[in-house]
Amino acid sequence: MKHTDIVKVLKDRELVGKDITVCGWVRTSRDSKNMAFLELNDGTSLKHLQIVIDKNEMSDIAEYMRLGTSLKVEGTLVDSVVAKDSVELNAKAITVLGVCPPDYPLQKKRHTLEYLRTIPALRVRTNTFNAVFRVRSVLSAAIHEYFQKNNYVYVNTPIITASDSEGAGEMFRVTTIGFSKDYKSEEEYDAADFFRRRAALSVSGQLEGEVAAMALGKIYTFGPSFRAEKSNTQRHVAEFWHVEPEVAFAELPDIIEMAEDMIKYIIKAVLERCPDEMQFFDKHFENGLIEKLKTVSSHNFAVMTYTEAVEILMKNEDKFQNKVKWGDDLMTEHERFISEEICKKPVFLTNYPKDIKAFYMKQNPDGKTVAATDLLVPGVGEIIGCSEREADLDKLLNAMEIRGMKIEDYNDYLSLRKYGSVPHSGFGLGLERMIMYVTGIENIRDVILYPRTVGTIS
Ligand code: 4AD
């Protein structure tokens, strides 16, 4: 169907005075004695296009006025009579593409996000989701751009895997056969399955990413990761999009510098390319959002050790539901306190206790901590998990043994430490958490098309 995108119609002055065709869904409608007005949206822009209908020239317009109806409109584009710097389309012919009955759920101007979650197929037609998905798209493109400009190779790591890269055991099993009592043991059951051994959905592409980086130098992956953690919180989903760069010859300070540079680059890209969307979020979700992001993208992030953070948290223990001491994993309330109240900006917390972190992280000379960092941001908490990797084979084997891992499952990975091992580092950025940070949207379920969370899959 030949037609012009509404985003182009709203911006391109060359179209004024011309006859054009647009398509879209009716967002609002208003009727007066001689005239009727529709706001049409085709999804290409947050702003709608006003359609003006002269009722003396067009009869039977009732069907066009129903919210949610899809239309093709032919007409002449003119400067708006009332709104400055805007255009409207004087309709000459209207075709109904799809009628929309009065039980269309999006009748009100503003619905709660909770209600919209109950209609996932339709919520995308609201202004909020229109803006979320454009920001999501621009962020994704900017992430690729950043890495491509800086000599990184984009690699796709497997989604089905036999190894648990985070060692946390929170994986979704992949199987084609049901368990039955006829199998004498789990091993026998696994051996009868599709891969002849236990397989699962990957929680991270890191281990395979390391393989690629040990040949290509600088790589990144950008794909889905799966976590079967039963955390029913505002920032956990079972399926999320994961950006994982891996860099040969990079030590912890190098990767911290790169992570900060990348975050600033993608924030600037969204501010530049999504001005309407960002104004919308600033107005409806987080007052001062644009100013905050401008400041963040032009100032240094904070850096603090885990040990320093725990000292601060212990001094403020009356402010938390959960007390914390050295050696504990930090909860969201602690992470947010450090970034929101103490640093008041994104902060890299470094050198975590080795026992609460994954086996692959580089062991520090103190024997207690690892060269790892999490990037914590106000409003969200952790958005990046990062570390320098243990490049020494013996130390790595020792960390795996302590955790009771099956060494033979990791032979391929371990061979990297045998043949020309080099210092290297990488991180994982959760795309959805990044979107929460730049939009001010508080629940991760509202920044992904179909959220998968414990107990729900729609
Ligand atoms: O800190 P994580 O678990 O780190 C890793 O997976 C490393 N292998 C990354 C690496 O070094 N290549 O996860 C990294 C990020 C988190 O900071 C968070 O943003 C996101 O992934 N993430 C989740 N996002 C949404 N829902 C979940 N359940 C998430 N789990 C992790």
Kindly state the average pLDDT of the residues 246-265. 98
- Ligand 1 site, residue 164, Cβ cutoff 6 A: no
Q: Characterize the bridge pairing of strands 369-377 and 347-353.
A: antiparallel
Q: What is the pLDDT of residues 107-163, one digit of tens each?
A: 877 899 999 999 999 999 999 999 999 999 999 999 999 999 999 999 999 999 998
Query: What Cα–Cα distance (Å) separates residue 433 from each residue in 96, 234, 246, 384, 430?
Result: 40, 10, 20, 9, 5
- 4-18, 121-135, 177-191, 222-236: which has the minimum mean pLDDT? 177-191
CATH 3.30.930.10 fits 123-446, yes or no: yes
- Ligand 1 site, residue 352, Cβ cutoff 6 A: no
Q: What is the pLDDT of residue 429?
A: 98
The whole-model pTM stands at 0.96
Return the residue whose CA atom lies nearest to atom 21 of ligand 1.
430
Q: What is the pLDDT of residue 127?
A: 97
Contact in structure between 232 and 101 (CB atoms under 8 Å): no
Distance 275 CA to ligand 1 centre (A): 29
The whole-angstrom separation of Cα 243 and Cα 223 is 7
- Ligand 1 site, residue 157, Cβ cutoff 6 A: no
Task: Supply the mean pLDDT for the chain.
Answer: 96
- Ligand 1 site, residue 221, Cβ cutoff 6 A: no
Q: Decide if pLDDT at 169 tops 80.
A: no
Q: Residue 167's pLDDT band (boundaries 50, 70, 90)?
A: confident
The whole-angstrom separation of Cα 229 and Cα 249 is 33
CATH 3.40.50.2020 fits 6-104, yes or no: no
Q: What is the pLDDT of residues 352-379, one digit of tens each?
A: 999 999 999 999 999 999 999 999 999 9
Q: Which atom of ligand 1 is nearest to the CA of 238?
A: 28
* Backbone φ/ψ region at 351: left (φ over 0), alpha (ψ -120 to 50), beta: left
Q: Decide if pLDDT at 165 tops 80.
A: no
Return the residue whose CA atom lies nearest to atom 29 of ligand 1.
236
Return the residue whose CA atom lies nearest to atom 1 of ligand 1.
385
Q: How many CA atoms lie within 13 A of 222 on its CB side?
A: 17
Q: Decide if pLDDT at 458 tops 90.
A: no
Q: Decide if pLDDT at 335 tops 90.
A: yes
Return the residue whose CA atom lies nearest to atom 31 of ligand 1.
430
Structure tokens at 337: 């306190």
Q: Which residues, including other chains, have CB under 8 Å from residue 174's CB and lie 6 or more apart? A: 160, 194, 199, 200, 201
Q: What is the pLDDT of residues 23-79, one digit of tens each?
A: 999 999 999 999 999 999 999 999 999 999 999 999 889 999 999 999 999 999 999
DSSP H or E run through 282: helix 275-284
Q: Which atom of ligand 1 is nearest to the CA of 237?
A: 26
Structure tokens at 268: 């600037």
Distance 290 CA to ligand 1 centre (A): 26
**Closest alpha carbon to 336 in 234, 216, 456, 257:** 234
Q: Which atom of ligand 1 is nearest to the CA of 386?
A: 11
Which of 163, 204, 389 gets mutated to test ligand 1 (max ligand atoms within 8 A of its CB)?
A: 204
Q: Which residues, including other chains, have CB under 8 Å from residue 217's CB and lie 6 or more apart? A: 151, 153, 247, 248, 249
Sketch the domain layout of the chain as residue ranges.
Answer: 6-104, 123-446
- Ligand 1 site, residue 226, Cβ cutoff 6 A: no
